Amino acid sequence: MPFKTIGLCDGLVQGILATGYTAPTEIQAEAIPVVIAGKDMIGCAQTGTGKTAAFVLPILNKIANTREKTKRKILRSLIITPTRELAVQIDRAIQGYGRFINMSTIAVYGGTQIQKQTKVLKRGVDIIVATPGRLIDHIQRGNIDLSTVEILVLDEADRMLDMGFINDIKLIIKKIPDNRQTLLFSATMSKAVTNLTQKIQRSPKMIQIGKQHDPIETITQHIYPVAREQKMDLLLYMIDRQQMYSVLIFSRTKRGADKICRNLKKNKIKAEAIHSDRTQRQRMRAMDGFKAGKFQVMVATDIAARGINVEGISHVFNFDVPTFPEDYVHRIGRTGRAQATGDAITFVGYEEIPLIAGIERFIGRTFKDEYYEGFEYKTKLSIKRGPKGKPAKKGSSQRRREKEKRSPQTSTSSRTRKSQTSSRTRQSSPALSAVEGTYSHSRNESQSSTSSRKQKSSRFEKAKSTRKSPPALSTLSKVEGSAVEGTYSRSRNESKSPPALSTLSKVEGSAVEGTSPWKKNRSGKPKSNKSNAKASESQSGTTSFEKNKKKTTSKKTRSAAQSPTSSRKKTFKRKAKHKAKQNTKHR
């Protein structure tokens, strides 16, 4: 079907034929009559099907028909795009199709001098192709008046929303009259895009060409599992073995794109990189050189995936698997354009296998492993099983769940084993039990054998009976087996229930009552004989260690009982005697 039959003027058809197109594509044949009729429209088609001409041609047709009535140049149409490269591409398409029409256009984007754009805008233009950021800058400066816009076009709307331009788009739309015609074109229709169309369009006509997420059939897709450290070697090997005259390589990061470009140049391959860190002049020079055939390879990031419209790209390489499946569709859509054939090759590392599964779900097809013939792989990978012959490793939580399913009693048995081993270690080490105190010692004895319990039951019963009033030090030491343990348990029992004052005085030597045994003896009371002392020892059960302890305590109490005045008198007398001796010597 020729272009004349869809309602385009003669001058416009002449310009279309001059660019080399003879018949419209499917999206163009359905969309152009709707736009000429003045209706809002949503165009959703695969990448490379001619969406740009589907909205550019009816806009030029309207300007050509109304220019005969008014010669004054006013802004009639505004086209908003997400990237600079796409803005330049659409601007060049407008100039090519409308070469025989009296019209003017300008591409407004960042990275260039704003003064040159301001001069052209003040002279007046019919069509503006702009990125959101630079367009808002001109609006704030008063260089652009959007009150005369009749047709608004949002190209690659899904990409603009992904890049966070939703607030900028709403701000721009507020400056445009409500009785406008709004056209929205996108390769994929997400929920955010449908919500936007409900707010800015009036009963739009939906035109869907092909499957929404499926790339066009002229692209052959290949998946090569390869380790990350061998990706560059495989790329060089494939470029050297095959006849690849126009290659586009996509990298996930800007640094990765520069690294790939440097390695290609080292191997005498003409390559150039394009990403957002490059200046606009460098990006334009790289794009023009790639189109002219000066560079065999161009390395780009996802930011430029939708702005590269170069005819004749034979191979597209995904050096890194894209994070989002939508980016995969747009990457490989750079080849196989305008019903041409192309190959899309993706290198998949071990850590990128889950991303391939997401792409398979998105486009509705499964991939097979392919291995390049003649290339030596250090480790062969598989997108289904990880390393060749070995299933992908499961996570720690999955392994734990499987163990619990096989033997559910393993967790409880391990806990009981730990408790048994800890009790054994405590029973075997008396020093540890002495430090831990009475509580830990009694707990360990409860876990010991029944024979030891019978032997020590009488001792524990005695300790329980005297819990209200603490027993003598000797009894505690016998129960616990050491003097240190006995004193510790005695202090704990004292804190719970304080004993009588007389009991403490018998044990400690009546230091609390204020008098010492030394004072009692000096007061005239008879000292105890050795036989009486031995009898008292046998009755009370005191040991030599406790005897020495009593002696030290009595010394302390004796020194404490002495008044400060008596000690001062003694020191004074001692000093006086010393001086008298010295005086006699001198004489």
- May I ask the CATH architecture of the domain 3-209? 3-Layer(aba) Sandwich (3.40)
pLDDT band at 406 (very low <50, low <70, confident <90, very high): low
- Most confident stretch, 15-19, 307-311, 330-334, 549-553: 15-19
CATH classification of 219-387, choosing from 3.30.360.10, 3.40.50.720, 3.40.50.300, 3.60.15.10?
3.40.50.300
| Residue ranges of domains in the chain | 3-209, 219-387, 463-521
Task: For residue 222, report the phi and psi dihedrals to the nearest 5 degrees.
Answer: -130, 140
- Smallest CA-to-CA distance from 185 within 209, 163, 218 is with 209
Q: What is the pLDDT of residue 193?
A: 84
For the cut 70, the answer to whether the pLDDT of residue 501 exceeds it is no
Question: Is the pLDDT score of 123 beyond 60?
Answer: yes
pLDDT at 505: 40
What letter would DSSP give residue 316?
A: E
Angle between the N-to-C axes of helices 450-465 and 438-446, in degrees from 0 to 180, rounded to the nearest 10: 140
**Tell me, what's the pLDDT at 212?**
62
Summarised one tens digit per residue, pLDDT across range 430-489 is 444 444 444 444 444 445 444 555 555 555 555 555 554 444 444 444 444 444 444 444
- Containing 130, the helix (H) or strand (E) segment is strand 127-130
- Lowest average pLDDT, out of 209-213, 259-263, 351-355, goes to 209-213
- Tell whether pTM > 0.85: no
How confident is the model over 178-190, as a mean pLDDT? Answer: 87
Residue 9 has pLDDT above 70, yes or no: yes
Whether 3-209 and 219-387 share one fold: the answer is yes
For 132, residues 6+ apart whose C-beta sits below 8 A from its C-beta are 80, 82, 160, 165, 168, 169, 172
The chain-wide mean pLDDT, for the chain, equals: 75
Banded model confidence at residue 507, pLDDT cuts 50, 70, 90 = very low
Statement: residue 233 has pLDDT above 90: yes
Q: Whose CA is closest to 27, among 41, 12, 10, 16?
A: 41
As a whole number of Å, the CA-based R_g of the chain is 48
pLDDT confidence bin for 77, thresholds 50/70/90: very high
